[in-house]
Amino acid sequence: MKKIILLLCLLMLTACGKREYSTQYFDLFDTYTSFQAYCSSQSEFEEISEGLHSEMARLNKLFDIYNDYEGISNLKTINDNAGISPVKVDEDLYALIKEGINAYNETDGYINIAMGSVLRVWHDYREMAETDPDKAAVPTKAELEEAALHRDINSIVLNEKDKSVYIKDKNTSIDVGAIAKGYAADKARQYLNEKGITAGLLNLGGNVIGLNDKVKPSWKIGVQKPTEGSSEYVYKLDIENEAAVSSGNYQRYYVYEGKVYHHIINKDTLLPADNNKSVTIVSSSSLEGDIYSTYLFILPYEEGIKIAEEKGLNVVWVDNKDKVKIFP
């Protein structure tokens, strides 16, 4: 595991004697993470932030589909044993997979953790393009359709009694990229609540959790212009003990013949979804935000707003013409 890099800075003194401190992590969920909170001392903040990092690193290992870790049965272990045998797993991994199956049912199959075979094809092509742009290409229709034969959510069998997971189809694999950070961010909030943090802000690669009290009644955050590396914001909002999650086409992508191919795949076309540039959800749960920001990103706006109304979601869309649409 990469060595944690902590950048600590004293920001301000509050009326109640607590100060605001901040830190950054660069080794969680293949993304950048920032955390700030009001604490009585720097040592208290360091202890809490190190504990937070340890908990997030534990979940990161459990949810990893690419790497093995000694003594840990993780998602890669489950995938490696597809068609062979059930794997007993940690309660958090079991719960995440269970949430993934629920998400499939709630989103008409647009969020499908059993779609790893298709996502792996796109991942390999993206890595090839990043490694050698001259070799950039797009998967063939035949490749994608062959992979799509192995995305049946019913291939995933859960055993509640012994917390084991079994994949019946040896060519099916689980990918929790659409929900893992949301689950982890909610667990982070639980950890911070247990440690007595009443005012803090965590940004886990676009999954933002705000904790607020009388000292810090809200956090102001910005919806980034959907361009990689942009420091511009298309909309600003306040969150009060809420989660904000963005899904967009400006990260994890490659360009081939002038067209962007990103990581959010539409199950109907097996191609990157092309109805929006970004969707941001504000809700009580980061996991819910993860699920619905991706779901609404894939859908046309007209269908997405019906779901937003039905579920009572707060949504910011940036469409393909860079028009910002707000609900409610």
What does the pLDDT look like over 18-48, one tens digit per residue?
Answer: 899 999 999 999 999 999 999 999 999 999 9
Instruction: Count the Cβ atoms, other than its own, within 10 Å of residue 124.
Output: 12
pLDDT at 307 over 80: yes
Kindly state the average pLDDT of the residues 135-152. Answer: 98
CATH topology agreement for domains 75-167 and 245-328: no
- Please state, in angstroms and rounded to a whole number, the distance separating the CA atoms of residues 327 and 309: 8
pLDDT at 302 over 70: yes
pLDDT at 11 over 70: no
- Please state, in angstroms and rounded to a whole number, the distance separating the CA atoms of residues 6 and 8: 6
Cα atoms in the Cβ-side hemisphere of radius 13 Å centred on 79:
26
Q: What does the pLDDT read at residue 9?
A: 36
Question: Which CATH number is 75-167 given?
Answer: 1.10.3980.10
Scan for tokens 């949301």, then name that residue: 182
Q: Check: CB of residue 236 under 8 Å from CB of residue 220.
A: yes
- Please state, in angstroms and rounded to a whole number, the distance separating the CA atoms of residues 10 and 164: 45
Least confident of 51-60, 72-81, 228-237, 250-259: 228-237
Cα dihedral 252, 323, 203, 210 in deg (nearest 10)? -160
Q: Helix H segments across the chain?
A: 42-62, 75-80, 91-106, 116-131, 141-148, 180-194, 286-298, 301-311
Domain 245-328 has CATH 3.10.520.10: yes
Kindly state the average pLDDT of the residues 274-298. Answer: 97
Q: How confident is the model at residue 4 (pLDDT cuts 50, 70, 90)?
A: very low
Note if the bond before 86 is cis, omega within 30 degrees.
Answer: no
Q: What does the pLDDT read at residue 12?
A: 39
Kindly report the average pLDDT of the chain as a whole number. Answer: 93
Residues 6+ apart with CB under 8 A from 5: 24, 25, 26, 27
- Please state, in angstroms and rounded to a whole number, the distance separating the CA atoms of residues 20 and 32: 20
Q: How confident is the model at residue 2 (pLDDT cuts 50, 70, 90)?
A: very low
Q: What is the value of pTM for the model shown?
A: 0.93
Kindly state the average pLDDT of the residues 255-278. Answer: 96
User: What are the b/e assignments for 282-321, b being 16+ CB within 10 Å?
Assistant: bbebbbbbbbbbbbbbbbebeebbebbeeeebbbbbbbee
Q: What does the pLDDT read at residue 316?
A: 97
pLDDT at 219 over 90: yes
Q: What does the pLDDT read at residue 16?
A: 54
Q: How confident is the model at residue 251 (pLDDT cuts 50, 70, 90)?
A: confident
Parse the chain into domains and list their residue ranges.
1-63+178-217, 75-167, 245-328
pLDDT at 139 over 50: yes
Kindly state the average pLDDT of the residues 178-206. Answer: 97
Instruction: Count the Cβ atoms, other than its own, within 10 Å of residue 175.
Output: 23
**Angle at CA of residue 34, ends 212 and 235, nearest 5°:** 70
- Please state, in angstroms and rounded to a whole number, the distance separating the CA atoms of residues 320 and 323: 7
Percent of the chain whose pLDDT exceeds 70? 95
Q: Which helix (H) or strand (E) holds 237?
A: strand 233-239
Q: What does the pLDDT read at residue 55?
A: 98
pLDDT at 228 over 90: no
